[in-house]
Structure 1
């Protein structure tokens, strides 16, 4: 059968571009090494992630008596801290991620015919739609969050989008404008980290799903692959082995089905998701009751 070549990396060009600008994807096949890009990565991560979080953590000490402020700050900090783990994961595994992307160019991971092309186009199209939807939602949420202090006429003094402590009086111009701009850049950077790292991992899941679709189609049309039964069988087995060798975040077991794990702590499933929702609601109800008592 004639091979239908597909450039898998082309699907996530926008995703990769954002990661490059953020200092999280060295050019071409390079990894992190002493040089300009590593320095650039260190500066933007330290400034827009570490320092931004640090100023909010310190602020908890100064607003410790205000329960509502502590809860608001803690909620934001927890979300931002997860970005640190995501940045660390990408930097640590840059080589592995790029190796997997390079492997997808091999003939083993190409579509064999037009039918298989049609088969996986829906998955790729769905991923693109999800990515665009998340971009739109992130831009809308961030825009509202960042301009709200400027539109809030009820505020008695100048406010920032995030409650934070700075070793100077940020209410004085032009320090207020500079600090406000810093928080805007930090929030945008953190949003891009969550958006693009999550979607990069989701992309690998989509790629693997597409490969399993291709493999399933080959098995269904076993006799069309080659007139030699043994050759067709060997090709399918080798394809399956190569699919498993790309799989970074899956736990493979010869008895149990493939499962996605979260840092090898627990498996992601519908039951786990429902447990998380129930726990989150319980914490919310508790904090809400405490907030009412303090009024």
Structure 2
């Protein structure tokens, strides 16, 4: 049977990471070549410059709640994206090795039926990637064209520069600079998130394969024992894969959830300050939908990992276990006990990625928004 190519599913995802300088092809990490220069140049000029201009602006508006909220509600997301890039680059060797593990014999589908079995998980990730990218792209387009739809020379984002941006050609240069920066950061952010979703999707697919292999256990005692040993090894590798991936991304997840709560609250607050039918209102609403989708996908894929892994004990029970030797039954019992604790994706063990966590985040964001609204109206 032809070897299944797991990474073909995320080909577009990896290509976009290459475009923004976050996926060197030569070796496991950066080398001394033009691509590394390109990545460093983007990190300093685009990421560093854009974030610094917004951070400095806070010094001039910190006493004005409305101006402060207008400055930081997008800046927080940009700083988080920068942190994601740093953690991703630092753990790039581990991430690439995790993707190589998928090509090992234990992670390969054993039949065409198993290939069909995992297709729903792969298709869900592809649809999620497309929908999430489209929602965020619409929001960035609105930000990019907003100054062109209003009278006067207004930049897409509030920021400070050591020269006047009201006259030509300074205004046009900074306008293009901000648009390039937000598109670059957005592309990086979307594809780093999507790669995290992909790793969780792979865990779900592996659980489907393991459940199918366990439920089909049968035949002679020798065949049963041999296949069972392979299933035990497969389960251990799935758990190791999940733990290693979680170790790489748990700080990213923690930062994402902490900042998303604040960003949602600030954006809802911004929404109350503009005309409900204005262009700014549509931009803020689009931003809320984008952030909510981002967090929802983290929680949904994490929830799927827990659900899929919790089905393993039931697959064991479906096997032809009765009538087997005491040694085989003991092995099945030990495996079943180990699988009682499902695989969970966490943020440094503070909370589990689940739909329940998503609801908690939305409630917290609403509470922070209510406080901001009350303070501003006093």
Quick one: structure 1 residues 201 and 78, their matched pair in 2 at CA, closer, same or farther if it must change by over 3 Å? same
CA distances 1:100-156 after superposition (whole Å, capped 9, x unpaired): 111211222111112111111111111111111112112111101111111013xxx
The answer for unaligned runs of 5 or more in structure 2 is 248-305, 307-336
Quick check: 1:239 aligned with 2:199? no
Quick one: structure 1 residues 129 and 20, their matched pair in 2 at CA, closer, same or farther if it must change by over 3 Å? same
The whole-number CA distance in structure 2 between the counterparts of 1:144 and 1:266 is 34
Quick check: 1:68 aligned with 2:66? yes
Q: How many residues align?
A: 288
The 8 Å contact of residues 4 and 113 in structure 1, kept in 2 or not, is answered as: no
Structure 2 counterpart SS, 1:260: coil
Partner of 2:195: 200
Q: Report how far residue 16 of structure 1 moved.
A: 0.4
- Give the stretch that moved more between structures: 63-72 or 48-57: 63-72
Partner of 1:291: 376
The answer for unaligned runs of 5 or more in structure 1 is none
Q: What does residue range 13-32 of structure 1 map to in structure 2 within 5 Å?
A: 13-32=11-30
The 8 Å contact of residues 4 and 110 in structure 1, kept in 2 or not, is answered as: no
Quick one: structure 1 residues 120 and 4, their matched pair in 2 at CA, closer, same or farther if it must change by over 3 Å? farther
| Structure-2-length-normalised TM-score | 0.71
Q: What does residue range 239-278 of structure 1 map to in structure 2 within 5 Å?
A: 239-247=234-242, 248-250=244-246, 256-278=341-363
More helix by share: 2
The whole-number CA distance in structure 2 between the counterparts of 1:258 and 1:250 is 10
Q: Report how far residue 28 of structure 1 moved.
A: 4.8
The whole-number CA distance in structure 2 between the counterparts of 1:10 and 1:21 is 17
Partner of 2:214: 219
The 8 Å contact of residues 199 and 245 in structure 2, kept in 1 or not, is answered as: no
Quick check: 1:42 aligned with 2:40? yes
Partner of 2:52: 54
CA distances 1:24-78 after superposition (whole Å, capped 9, x unpaired): 1111543123333222212112222222111011111222343211012121121
Quick one: structure 1 residues 133 and 226, their matched pair in 2 at CA, closer, same or farther if it must change by over 3 Å? farther
Structure 2 counterpart SS, 1:24: coil
